[in-house]
Structure 1
Amino acid sequence: MRRDHLRTTLLFLASIVIGVVGWSGHVLLLPAALGFPILWSLAQTRSVVALVSAGYFLAASRGLPQGVATFYAADIWLGLLLWLCASLSFVVVHSVLWTKNPNVRPFRYLLAAVIMSIPPFGITGWAHPVTAAGVLFPGWGWWGLNLITAGLAGLVTRIWPAVAIALTGFWLWSAAFWTDPKLPEGWRGVDLEMGASLGREAGLQRQRDLIATVRNAASDGGRVVVLPETALGFWTPTMERLWVGVLRAGDATVIAGATVLDATGYDNVLAAVDRKGGRILYRERMPVPGSMWQPWRSWFGESGGTRADFFANPVVSIGASRAAPLICYEQLIVWPILQSMLHDPDFIIAVGNGWWTEETSIVAIQRAATTAWSKLFAKPLVVAFNT
């Protein structure tokens, strides 16, 4: 009995360590998350699997309680409640599909991995070990995704030590020759430090500050300048006329986050504007559940919340190029980027407004995950965040 308790304790502690290290925000540490399937297979009962799954997920998403409390200006208990609720799908899926049968176990784990990649469970499918593919197999594209899938299956079999050694070899080789993703020629991503005021401060002075920022980036050779999520605030005809007038004398194009509001709710979008006019370039496929996406409102005849276009606009056209946009939360989950890669875009645009993540690793994790996907498919990357 004591030996069983010791084993369970060690597995639980190991799951926490793996969650913390793998999702620390350092891209080269993402492969540490591949330790989770090993622990999943070493568990001897379903209750231990639930404990290990909870330890891994809660450790990986440890910044959520503080972030939620900051976002809502509320007590930490609200953040803790949402943190626990978010872990339920991950824990339930991995617990239900666990089996003692070693011959069936690889298929069960792969099924769990697929379920946590796509809606509905994939909506909270954070900390997915498959994200490490870009570190282990940079530039391998879909072949790299297939290899890490086979590796995940191998890690839950009796030969897991050999599979782990092989994957570690790829990890070390990649780390030794690692380079960051390239920036598309003529593109500039602008990081801002405007805190909670970005997108909420609608005064003319704020727009003048953003215009000055764009002009500086354009003078540095940026033909296309990308601003963070919600940078423009509400997208209106007046806002469009202001920016078209500013850009009329040059060739620059601005891509910036904005909000489109109507009587039933709002869309979190990327708008593109140049001297010829403005347009909605992209509508976010998966807004943040709870704080933005609130589907239960319609059940009670209420309006409001952000619309989710789950599988819409996976790529967008910008001039002669095609881009895969990812807004904030979409960078933490799996299906938006894979859906976009099916259309073979020329590069990836990743924007976010992470003012509420101060003192957490959430923005760093978003950057690491996006970098890993960019490296896997050898796509240039444009990043613009506000903190």
Structure 2
Amino acid sequence: MIPDILARSRHPAFSALRGRSSPSILAKLRSCLLVALSIIVGMMAWSGQVLALPVATIFPALWAHSPSRLVAALVSSGYFLAASRGLPQGVANFYAADFWPGLLLWIAASFAFVAVHTVLWARRPEEGHPGRGRALRYLAAAALMATPPLGITGWAHPLTAAGVLFPGWGWWGLAATATGLAMMTSRYWPAAVLAFAGFWLWSAATWTQPDLPQGWKGVDLKYGASLGREGSLGHHRDLIATVRAQTADGTRFVVLPESALGFWTPTVAHLWQDGLQGMDLTVIAGAAVIDSRAYDNVMVAISTDGARVLYRERMPVPVSMWQPWRAWTGQGGGARAHLFDNPVVDLASTRIAPLICYEQLILWPTLQSMLHSPDIIVATGNGWWTAGTSIVAIQQVSAIAWAKLFSVRIVTAFNI
């Protein structure tokens, strides 16, 4: 029996079958490995640890070496969904709903990222220019995911790693990172890996947190879901007392989280100005300005000399806050998106780059602000709904990475 099977296995038909099946199995294993690695890269890079951000630079190599467009789509999906894995739980917390609506929104949010990288994937480099075709295609994908409209959901962008790889290099560091990412898609990817690894190790060995501006202090709160919804006199008095307690060491500017003051009205403004009497102090705090058609998510500046809206958010959270279809259908409501307005604001001879919550997860608000050479970044958020996820940590490390890249000091204030 065994000799007979061995004899038949030498038949040309068996040899042909074996020749076809073995490469097919290897190709499937390779595809599965690429998808698995993309998931691991997404989870590690976007874990909320700032020094882990450079792991994201591996994604372009996995994408470029995908053997088919379908595998490239799966690799892109694996990376993005792993990086944004906290979204389903966050949506469930925000709407006090079950897990399924968040799961659907999570998948929908990945559409732009996956579609762009699937369409721009190429099977082989252009003739005569090994790797150049893929490199240019990847740079096009990166640019599309960094700017509106597709950049509105451009989370987990590998360019964010520039702040860890090249701290202090500014725009040159951003260009160096983009060049390295393009090389990761070419036959020179081993050289790019070695270069990134070297800069990463050097940065990790010398890493320090960004400096806090002198006289500034960010105050983190633990008010949970009540922040922004509780507008009682007692609530504001408690916050004023918290702020006044921060001035013992000579602090002149105190930053409170997004939505800290709730609805911004003349009554609230007068209450806070009275509460700051006798103090050389300016409070920057989150609030909402409402009119008959929509509302603005803002930062306000309050001192005994006056109170004003300092900044209007350029990109509120899509779906939960920014709902443009309401305006299109004449319903009204939702937060306005001031896409390219007020990238920097001036306060007491200091140029500030404000970033509220969602703006810290995407590229173009930060890069637009950096074009104006700000003195400090003020990053705030209201992350009570992210309980059980790493979303707030990812927001913070993203803001820190940009601050390090451009050597800009940073103040943060979050509510959890």
| Alpha-carbon distance, 1:250 to partner | 1.2
- Work out the percentage of aligned pairs sharing the same amino acid: 63
Match of 2:328 in 1: 299
Correspondence 1:239 to 2:262: no
SS of aligned partner of 1:104: helix
Match of 1:70 in 2: 93
Instruction: Tell me the distance in 1 between the aligned counterparts of 2:275 and 2:154.
Output: 41
Match of 1:27 in 2: 50
Give the partner amino acid of 1:305: G
- If the length of structure 1 is used for normalisation, what is the TM-score? 0.99
Instruction: Tell me the distance in 2 between the aligned counterparts of 1:237 and 1:108.
Output: 52
Match of 1:18 in 2: 41
SS of aligned partner of 2:310: strand
SS of aligned partner of 2:110: helix
| Alpha-carbon distance, 1:120 to partner | 0.5
- Residue 227 of structure 1 contacts residue 351 of structure 1 at CA under 8 Å; is this kept in 2? yes
Match of 2:350 in 1: 321
| Alpha-carbon distance, 1:299 to partner | 2.1
Instruction: Tell me the distance in 1 between the aligned counterparts of 2:34 and 2:225.
Output: 40
Q: Deviations over 1:263-295 (max 9, x none)?
A: 001000000010011000000000000000000
| Alpha-carbon distance, 1:35 to partner | 0.8
Match of 2:26 in 1: 3
Q: How many residues align?
A: 387
Match of 1:178 in 2: 207
- Residue 248 of structure 1 contacts residue 276 of structure 1 at CA under 8 Å; is this kept in 2? no
SS of aligned partner of 2:317: coil
Give the partner amino acid of 1:378: S
- Computing the radius of gyration over CA atoms, which structure comes out larger, 1 or 2? 2
Instruction: Tell me the distance in 1 between the aligned counterparts of 2:235 and 2:120.
Output: 52
Correspondence 1:43 to 2:66: yes
Structure 1 segments of 4+ aligned residues over 4 angstroms from their partners:
none
| Alpha-carbon distance, 1:53 to partner | 0.2
Runs of at least 5 residues in structure 1 that lack an aligned partner in the other structure:
none
SS of aligned partner of 2:101: helix
Q: Deviations over 1:313-360 (max 9, x none)?
A: 000001111000000000000000000000000010000000000010
Once the two structures are superposed, the pairs formed by residues 127-276 of structure 1 within 5 Å of their partners are: 127-276=156-305
SS of aligned partner of 1:157: coil
Instruction: Tell me the distance in 2 between the aligned counterparts of 1:32 and 1:334.
Output: 18
Give the partner amino acid of 2:73: A
Q: Deviations over 1:63-111 (max 9, x none)?
A: 0000000000011000000000000000000000011232311000000
Instruction: Tell me the distance in 1 between the aligned counterparts of 2:165 and 2:188.
Output: 19
Instruction: Tell me the distance in 2 between the aligned counterparts of 1:150 and 1:213.
Output: 47
Instruction: Tell me the distance in 1 between the aligned counterparts of 2:330 and 2:299.
Output: 29
| Alpha-carbon distance, 1:234 to partner | 0.4
Instruction: Tell me the distance in 2 between the aligned counterparts of 1:222 and 1:292.
Output: 33
Correspondence 1:124 to 2:174: no
SS of aligned partner of 2:204: helix
Correspondence 1:288 to 2:317: yes
- Residue 353 of structure 1 contacts residue 386 of structure 1 at CA under 8 Å; is this kept in 2? yes
Instruction: Tell me the distance in 1 between the aligned counterparts of 2:337 and 2:164.
Output: 30
Match of 2:15 in 1: none
| Alpha-carbon distance, 1:300 to partner | 1.6
- Residue 189 of structure 1 contacts residue 227 of structure 1 at CA under 8 Å; is this kept in 2? yes
Give the partner amino acid of 1:319: A
Instruction: Tell me the distance in 2 between the aligned counterparts of 1:187 and 1:299.
Output: 41
Q: Deviations over 1:144-176 (max 9, x none)?
A: 001001111111000101111111000000000
Give the partner amino acid of 1:360: T
Give the partner amino acid of 2:97: A
Give the partner amino acid of 1:292: M
Instruction: Tell me the distance in 1 between the aligned counterparts of 2:79 and 2:133.
Output: 23
Q: CA-atom RMSD, angstroms?
A: 0.6
Correspondence 1:99 to 2:122: yes
- Residue 332 of structure 1 contacts residue 366 of structure 1 at CA under 8 Å; is this kept in 2? yes
Runs of at least 5 residues in structure 2 that lack an aligned partner in the other structure:
1-23, 126-131
- If the length of structure 2 is used for normalisation, what is the TM-score? 0.92
Instruction: Tell me the distance in 1 between the aligned counterparts of 2:349 and 2:258.
Output: 24
Once the two structures are superposed, the pairs formed by residues 362-373 of structure 1 within 5 Å of their partners are: 362-373=391-402
- Residue 49 of structure 1 contacts residue 95 of structure 1 at CA under 8 Å; is this kept in 2? yes
